[in-house]
Structure formats: C-alpha cells, structure tokens
C-alpha cells in the first residue's frame, strides 16, 4: 500500500507543479501568443498527470467499481483532443483580426 | 454516397454509441438497455454522416498505426513541456517568437487535424492556420530550436504521413 | 492530502483571474476564462475524492465538454463578427 501512495503523491505533485507553471506563465509573459503557449500546453499535461494519479489511487482503494476508471480515461482523452483545438481556434481568430506577434526588444503588451 | 455506404456508416455509429452508453452507465437490466438503445438510435439518426464516411480504405490498419504513434507523442510532450517550464521560470526569459510557414504532403481531413493537434500539443509551437488544398501550415514558434525541428528535421510530418499513408 | 491539492488549485485559479480583469483587449480575457474552466474540471474531480463519492464523475466530463464548446463559439464570433450566416 505504501508504494502506491508514494507513486500517487509523486504524480499529483508533478501535476500541480505544471499547473503552477501555467498560471505563472499567464502573468509573466509579455504577449498574447506567448501566454497561450505556456497555459495551453502546461495546463493540459498537468491535468493529465493529476488524473492518471487519481486513476491509480482509485484502482487500489475502491476495488469494487472498476468502470469509473474507464470514465476517467475518457476524460483524459477528451481533454487531450479538445484543449489544443480550443487554443487553436482562439489563436486563429486573433491572427485574422490583425493582432501582431511580439518581437524581441519591444515593450510589454 | 449510395445506400450501401450510408447503411454501413449508420450501423457503425449506432454500435459505437451503444457501447459508449454501456460503459458509462454500468447497469445491465432491461430498462437501462432499452433506454440506451432508443437514445443511441436518436443520436445516430441525427449525426450519422459525421463519424464514418462510407467504407474508407484500410481503417483498421490506420487505427493500429495511430495507437502506436500515441506513446511516442506522449513522451515528446513530457520532454518538451519541461523545456517550456524552464523558459517560463528563468529570470531572463529566453524566448524569441517568430512565425514560420511550411508545406506538407498530407491532404485528408483526419491527417491534417492529427498533425495540427500534435503541433499544438508539443510545446514551442502553435498552429495558426491550415490550408487544406496544399497542406500548408502557419505556425507560431517560441524559439529558434522549436522552429528548426519542424522546418529542417521534419520528424513529426514523416511520422504522421507514415500513419495515414499519404506521403 | 487531497484537501491540500484542492486548495492549491484554488490559488492558481485566483492567479488566473488577474489576467481576466487586466489584460488589454478581449482575446486575453477569453483565453483566461478558458484556462479557468479547465482548472475547474480538475477541481471537480478532486472534490469527488474528498467527499468519497466515486460516482460523481459524470459532472466533470460534462463540464469539460461545455467549456470546450463555449470557447469555440466565442472564437467563431470574434473571427467573423456574426454567429450564423442566414
């Protein structure tokens, strides 16, 4: 039991680290496109890691309901497909409307 | 699409929807099965043209190769996310954004979408615009190394073209 | 342990709200709202484990879909200026 708890704790902590990096990236980066780089990807990966950790926890602590892990797997697959598509839609709309990317040496926007 | 191909699409969509219902619900008595059948039939009638388009060629082989492509993709995602985390947390923030444009040899819908999703998931690049007639991609890259990996190496394009057999 | 993780996710949601309030232009705000929605999905899953109800997980699945479709609708409206072309 202790090994499972340690693995779950490692996965949850690394997932939280990536989510923090995503939130800090939203605040720190200087331009709209670069901010979406940080959040769109680190967020998705952090969520994937957290939910994988919860699947492992569920398999060992609630052995009576194994179908719930299939639901969580669907959630992971859906997030991996849907989040980049939403980010791409926003970036395409901004590019069509004329928002210019940031080059090295300009001021913050 | 003639009647044979539309029938095949309807049956496959109905089976997939019913399987989804069974997995998500977990109850196997008569009331739930009949309700599941009716709901799957309604959803299939509304949207049978979206999921399967007739008897496309070699769907099983493409699905198997797609399943082999996914673990390599996941490993690339983890590696490159660590790189982006380093760039965000560094006190000097070494980023140098640029917009690049390249052509590929993919023409089908599903292949274009898979490559666009892979490019957006791999940190360092976001797909801005896709042109389906010539397979052109406009991509916003975060630093020169990431842009290099798509313009010069072309690893990801070759792998997706191998999966969907469209080189 | 799950309580600590839940509180940390709430802290990150509050950090993202700064970008939703400041954030010159409408695109920054739309992106911030999408990020808050994604983090809410994770928060719902963890709350399912804090209250020990493993049958709770239909709700995060549904909210992930709603968040995705909401962002797509907003992006389409911002790109074209209208939503349906009748």
* Domain ranges, residue C57: 2-80
Distance, CA of B78 to CA of B68 (rounded, Å): 17
CB contact under 8 A, A35 and C31: yes
pLDDT > 70 fraction of chain B, expressed in percent and rounded: 90
Domain extents in chain B: 3-51, 59-164
Distance, CA of A98 to CA of C69 (rounded, Å): 24
Residue C85 forms part of a structural domain: no
Per-residue model confidence as pLDDT tens digits over B17-38:
888 888 877 778 888 889 888 9
- 3-state secondary structure (DSSP) of residue B129: strand
B69: closest CA among B10, B103, B21, B115? B115
Per the structure, the count of domains in chain C is 1
Per-residue model confidence as pLDDT tens digits over B41-77:
898 888 877 766 655 666 677 778 888 888 888 888 8
Q: Which residue of B has its CA nearest to A79?
A: B121
End-to-end CA distance of chain B: 27
User: Nearest-5° angle of CA C20, CA C21, CA C23?
Assistant: 70
pLDDT of res. B54: 52
The pTM of the full predicted model, rounded to 2 decimals, is 0.87
End-to-end CA distance of chain C: 53
- Write the ipTM: 0.87
Mean pLDDT, all residues of chain A: 88
pLDDT of res. B5: 66
**Residue B147 contacts A where some CB pair is shorter than 8 Å:** no
Q: Which of A18, A74, A88 sits opposite B127 (nearest CB)?
A: A88
Distance, CA of B1 to CA of B139 (rounded, Å): 35
Q: Which residue of A has its CA nearest to B24?
A: A71
Residue C23 forms part of a structural domain: yes
CATH number of B59-164: 3.30.70
Q: Which residues of B touch A27 (CB under 8 A)?
A: none
What distance lies between CA B22 and its chain's CA centroid?
A: 25
List of chains touching A (3+ CB pairs within 8 A): B, C
Per-residue model confidence as pLDDT tens digits over B110-152:
888 888 888 888 888 888 988 888 888 888 888 887 777 777 7
Q: What is the DSSP letter of A31?
A: S
Q: Dihedral (C-alpha) B153, B155, B158, B159: value to the nearest 10 degrees? A: 180
What are residue B102's DSSP bridge partners?
Answer: B137
């Amino acid at each position: 039991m202790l090994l499972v708890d340690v693995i779950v704790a490692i996965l949850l902590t690394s997932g939280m680290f990536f989510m923090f990096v995503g939130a800090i990236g939203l605040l720190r980066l200087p331009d709209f496109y670069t901010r979406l780089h940080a959040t769109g990807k680190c967020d998705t990966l952090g969520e994937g890691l957290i939910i994988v950790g919860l699947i492992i926890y569920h398999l060992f602590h609630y052995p009576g309901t194994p179908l719930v892990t299939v639901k969580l797997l669907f959630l992971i697959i859906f997030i991996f497909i849907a989040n980049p598509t939403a980010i791409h839609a926003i970036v395409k709309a901004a590019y069509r409307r004329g928002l210019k990317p940031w080059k090295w040496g300009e001021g913050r926007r | 699409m003639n009647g044979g191909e539309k029938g095949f699409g309807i049956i496959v969509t109905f089976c997939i929807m019913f399987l989804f219902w069974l997995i998500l619900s977990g109850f196997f008595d008569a009331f739930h099965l009949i309700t599941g059948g009716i709901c799957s039939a309604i959803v299939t009638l509304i949207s049978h043209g979206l999921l399967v388009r007739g008897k496309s060629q070699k769907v099983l082989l493409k699905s198997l190769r797609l399943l082999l492509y996914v673990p390599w993709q996941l490993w690339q995602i983890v590696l490159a996310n660590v790189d982006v985390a380093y760039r965000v947390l560094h006190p000097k923030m070494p980023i140098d954004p640029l917009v690049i444009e390249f052509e590929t040899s993919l023409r089908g819908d599903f292949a274009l979408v898979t490559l666009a999703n892979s490019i957006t998931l791999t940190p360092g690049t976001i797909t801005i615009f896709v042109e389906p007639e010539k397979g052109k991609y406009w991509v916003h890259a975060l630093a020169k190394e990431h842009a290099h990996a798509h313009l010069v190496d072309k690893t990801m394009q070759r792998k997706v073209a191998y999966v969907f057999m469209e080189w | 342990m799950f309580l600590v993780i839940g509180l940390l996710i709430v802290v990150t949601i509050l950090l993202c709200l700064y970008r939703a309030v400041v954030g010159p232009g409408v695109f920054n705000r739309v992106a911030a709202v999408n990020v808050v929605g994604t983090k809410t999905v994770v928060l719902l899953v963890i709350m399912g484990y804090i209250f020990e109800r493993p049958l709770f997980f239909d709700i995060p699945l549904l909210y992930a879909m709603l968040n995705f479709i909401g962002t797509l609708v907003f992006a389409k409206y911002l790109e074209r200026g209208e939503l349906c072309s009748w």
